[in-house]
């Protein structure tokens, strides 16, 4: 008779092979599933006995009739040493299905390598689970079944054993589930019985639970006994010895005792530097203020479900009305778009349904909102799509607002000292607007420059560094902090000399800004007379007008997908043409480069048909989406072609990899122009975003009228670093010599056919990078509105000949840091 195992918590079901730990994904401990939790309490999945409860409280084993099920909360959670875990039962206790076993804190779990909860059948060995539940499951619903064969082998305890050891446990957290699983797997591959002994305790080394039950800690001494022929036993024990010496594959675990195994925290009292990613450039000086927003408190279980249902409906209606009013009153298009995204979340049917189901189960409206939000976050996490996961902050923002509304209290942000450097784990979009006129700068432990909070910080012009690491949360409030946001550097508790240097840099920066502003409308000529066209990089007609006001000599990139990024329906030809015309009108008599739809990867759009992919960054993006979206591409091309005057219009193809793609689209555009009766030619260019395009730029230049280098993507594809990666993104610097080499090759290829080369990525507005771009042959720079005047002013100070010498020198350097230092030195001297 199969045993049904029930879900111990609400959550999304994740196949075990997707768990980022081979001990689970390769089923070293046994077969089972993982759950991405929506709650905070583990309930018994079966009737049984708690035969093991790890001392770190993150894992327990429940057994029934010889079947043992390990419940393991998170990855690397053993290192928390019980922090954030509250046991509700004891080892040895008999429990009933549905009985609460363990409560955990999601805040604590956030420190782990993963928040997944694994349910693994550890005994009998090699047991397979069947009938796994669908994608989303609720507590108490069937999760899987365990079918056990009646044939069980028993060890021949009367045979002779060969003893090995003593062996020392070198794992800083002892033999917890992972190393215990590795040892059990090693023993299971041996044909004879194996026992592991510590003091007067011994157990079957083929049992994960048995090994964990010995509670072996760092430096514990054990012996291992192997049955079978002596020669085979000795060979096996040699393997065991090596496994102990290698700490069962836990890197670095044998280098130090537990208290020393963690990264040494920075001593901010003595002064320190931290680095992260620039969300908005600039300099800032102020005292640290640790920002810790409060959440509204609520009960889980309702006393009157009907009242809770009414409260939920009222709160959603009020939040919707308030958001609509904010959209109507907001003058900035970007902020309107972000508010529109919040409105779409409020109207999301999945969130509504999940919340209503929770209320129907007797939960409070507040608990229902929290559960609905967690379910939505789980779904976004499972996409593994960086852009979608960045929207998690928007959902959290909605959650906080609704919870405070339901509590009947007004959410009040902590009072900020004027001129402070705000330090926080992350910022939600609604919190950013409250910083204006108060914070001098922002330093965040997490976050991304492309998240909504990062976009809003740039719109405000507030110097900000994100993804600086959790160490910064230990900076005491009141500590002096200097932000060099363009460099992604923060100096904590600076010395007098550092303060003096900062003041001098800031004074020079302000003088340059003033000079740049007064000369913004003048052309950008190098000191030896070479013209570099500085154009706008925009996503709306309003932004286009601002770019021209700030001195843009046209629009080097109009990101058309952002014109329609908060709607579910496909924009029609007439609607698109009107927006494109408004954008071109803002240019006066200058040109505008309209990039065709660049959706997919990290920029999904609801109305674009792109199937889910395991690795969307290298999947269907840009013009690769044509096959499934031909109607949209043709509609967009017709809309652009009808924008007048056409001699000011350029069309740019995103994600070009092959020359035949340019040829195909040129024919397609010609067909649409012929059908519209348009005889005037239009320039068609290619974005250089992948290394293959740069390497074959000479061939591409035969067919493209111009190139525009998308350095954001070119950098991530060249260095194989996702620019949104939490750990690696700080290393994705476009000034790496490999990226510069590809830019150089692109310019050389373009030169054969006299094609202009532009740069439209963030690198174009990076002052330290501008001299190198000029020296590598780039003649156009498409930059954000706030950077136009600064970039033009810098160009006037540099020599084109000197830039060429610098670029040649940079190509011979070994790192982005060396190149960046060279660029800064030249700028300082110019």
The catalytic residue positions are: 72
Report residue 729 CA to chain centroid gap.
9
Question: How many C-alpha atoms does 511 have within 13 Å on its Cβ side?
Answer: 6
Do residues 626 and 666 make contact, with C-beta atoms less than 8 angstroms apart?
no
Q: Which tokens belong to 529?
A: 């007379």
Strands 780-783 and 757-759: parallel
Q: How far apart are CA 154 and CA 518, in angstroms?
A: 88
DSSP string of 530-559, one letter each residue: -B-EEEEEESSHHHHHHHHHTT-SSEEEEE
Do residues 589 and 647 make contact, with C-beta atoms less than 8 angstroms apart?
no
Strand-by-strand arrangement of the 162-168 sheet = 162-168, 221-226, 194-198, 201-204
DSSP assignment letter at 486: G
Q: How far apart are CA 5 and CA 20, in angstroms?
A: 23
Q: Which residues of 240-261 are buried (b: 16+ CB within 10 A; e: fewer)?
A: beebbeebbebeebbeeebeeb
Strands 420-424 and 439-444: parallel
Q: How far apart are CA 87 and CA 91, in angstroms?
A: 10
Rounded to 10 deg, the angle between the 800-810 and 816-829 helix axes is 160
Is the four-CA dihedral 167, 168, 170, 174 of positive or negative sign?
positive
Q: How far apart are CA 454 and CA 451, in angstroms?
A: 5
Report residue 469 CA to chain centroid gap.
13
Distances (CA, A) of 518 to 343, 347, 793: 41, 47, 10
Distances (CA, A) of 70 to 10, 11, 544: 18, 18, 58
Residue showing tokens 């308030």: 322
Q: How far apart are CA 392 and CA 389, in angstroms?
A: 5
Reference 700, options 734, 653, 633, 763; nearest CA is 653
Q: Which are the contacts of 246, defined by CB distance < 8 A and separation ≥ 6?
A: 254
Rounded (10°) CA dihedral 230, 234, 235, 240: 140
Strands 94-95 and 533-538: unpaired
Q: How far apart are CA 212 and CA 116, in angstroms?
A: 20
Determine the 3-state secondary structure of 164 from DSSP.
Answer: strand
CA–CA–CA angle 528, 533, 537 (5° rounding): 145
Determine the 3-state secondary structure of 4 from DSSP.
Answer: strand
Q: Which tokens belong to 646?
A: 């056409």
């Amino acid at each position: 008779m199969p045993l049904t195992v029930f879900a111990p918590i609400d959550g999304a079901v994740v196949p075990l092979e997707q768990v980022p730990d081979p001990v689970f994904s390769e089923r070293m401990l046994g077969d089972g599933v993982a759950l991405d939790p929506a709650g905070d309490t583990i309930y018994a999945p079966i009737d049984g006995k708690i035969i093991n409860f790890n001392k770190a409280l993150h894992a327990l084993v429940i057994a029934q009739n010889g079947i043992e099920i390990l419940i393991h909360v998170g990855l690397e959670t053993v290192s928390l040493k019980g922090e954030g875990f509250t046991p509700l039962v004891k080892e040895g206790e008999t429990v009933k299905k549905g009985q609460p076993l363990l409560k955990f804190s999601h805040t604590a779990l956030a420190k782990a390598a993963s928040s997944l909860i694994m349910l693994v059948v550890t005994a009998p060995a090699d047991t397979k689970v069947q009938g796994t539940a669908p994608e989303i499951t609720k507590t108490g619903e069937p999760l899987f079944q365990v079918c056990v064969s009646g044939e069980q082998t028993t060890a021949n305890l009367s045979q002779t054993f060969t003893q090995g050891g003593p062996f020392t446990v070198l794992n800083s957290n002892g033999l917890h589930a992972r190393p215990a699983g590795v040892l059990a797997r090693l023993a299971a591959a041996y044909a004879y019985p194996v026992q592991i002994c510590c003091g007067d305790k011994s157990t079957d080394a083929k049992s994960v639970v048995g090994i964990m039950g010995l509670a072996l800690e760092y430096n514990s001494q054990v012996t291992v006994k192997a049955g079978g022929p002596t020669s085979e036993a000795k060979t096996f024990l040699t393997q065991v010895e090596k496994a102990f010496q290698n700490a069962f594959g836990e890197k670095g675990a044998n280098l130090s005792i537990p208290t020393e195994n963690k990264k040494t925290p920075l001593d901010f009292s003595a002064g320190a530097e931290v680095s992260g990613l620039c969300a908005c450039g600039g300099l800032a000086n102020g005292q640290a203020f640790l920002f810790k927003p409060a959440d509204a408190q609520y009960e889980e279980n309702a006393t009157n479900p009907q009242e809770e249902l009414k409260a939920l409906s009222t709160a959603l209606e009020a939040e919707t009305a308030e958001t609509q009013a904010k959209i109507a009153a907001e003058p900035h298009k970007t902020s309107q778009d972000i508010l529109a995204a919040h409105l779409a979340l409020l109207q999301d049917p999945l969130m509504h349904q999940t919340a209503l189901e929770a209320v129907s189960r007797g939960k409070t409206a507040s608990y229902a909102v929290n559960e609905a939000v967690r379910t939505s976050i789980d779904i976004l996490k499972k996409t593994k799509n960086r852009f979608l996961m960045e929207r998690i902050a928007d959902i959290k923002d909605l959650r906080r607002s609704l919870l405070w509304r339901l509590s009947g209290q007004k959410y009040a942000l902590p009072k900020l000292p004027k001129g402070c450097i705000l330090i926080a784990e992350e910022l939600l979009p609604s919190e950013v607007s409250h910083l204006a006129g108060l914070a001098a700068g922002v330093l965040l432990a997490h976050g991304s420059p492309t998240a909504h909070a990062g976009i809003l910080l740039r719109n405000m012009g507030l110097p900000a560094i994100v993804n600086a690491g959790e160490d910064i949360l230990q900076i005491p409030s009141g500590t002096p902090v200097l932000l060099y946001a363009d460099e992604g550097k923060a100096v904590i508790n600076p010395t007098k000399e550092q303060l003096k240097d900062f003041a001098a840099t800031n004074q020079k920066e302000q003088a340059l800004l003033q000079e740049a502003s007064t000369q913004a409308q003048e052309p950008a000529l190098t000191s030896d007379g070479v013209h570099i066209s500085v154009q706008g990089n925009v996503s709306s007609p309003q932004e286009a007008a601002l770019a021209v006001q700030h001195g843009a000599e046209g629009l080097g990139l109009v990101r058309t997908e952002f014109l329609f990024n908060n709607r579910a329906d496909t924009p029609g030809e007439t609607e698109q043409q009107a927006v494109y015309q408004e954008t071109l009108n803002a240019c006066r008599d200058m040109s505008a480069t309209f990039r065709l739809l660049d959706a997919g990867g990290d920029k999904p759009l609801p109305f674009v048909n792109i199937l889910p992919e395991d690795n969307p960054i290298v999947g269907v993006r840009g013009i690769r989406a044509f096959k499934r979206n031909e109607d949209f591409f043709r509609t967009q091309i017709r809309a652009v072609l009808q924008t007048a005057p056409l001699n000011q219009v350029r069309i740019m193809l995103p994600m070009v990899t092959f020359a035949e793609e340019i040829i195909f689209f040129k024919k397609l555009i010609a067909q649409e122009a012929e059908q519209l009766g348009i005889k005037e030619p239009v320039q068609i260019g290619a974005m250089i975003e992948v290394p293959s395009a740069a390497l074959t730029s000479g061939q591409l230049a035969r067919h493209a009228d111009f190139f525009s280098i998308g350095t954001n993507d070119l950098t991530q594809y060249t260095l194989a670093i996702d620019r949104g990666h939490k750990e690696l993104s700080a290393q994705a610097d476009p000034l790496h010599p490999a990226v510069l080499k590809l830019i150089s090759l692109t310019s050389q290829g373009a030169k054969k056919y006299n094609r202009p080369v532009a740069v439209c990525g963030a690198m174009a507005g990076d002052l330290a990078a501008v001299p190198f771009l000029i020296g590598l042959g780039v003649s156009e720079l498409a930059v954000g509105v706030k950077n136009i005047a600064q970039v033009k002013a810098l160009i006037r100070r540099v020599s084109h000949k000197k830039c060429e010498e610098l670029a040649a020198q940079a190509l011979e350097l070994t790192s982005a840091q060396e190149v960046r230092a060279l660029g800064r030195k030249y700028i300082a001297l110019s």
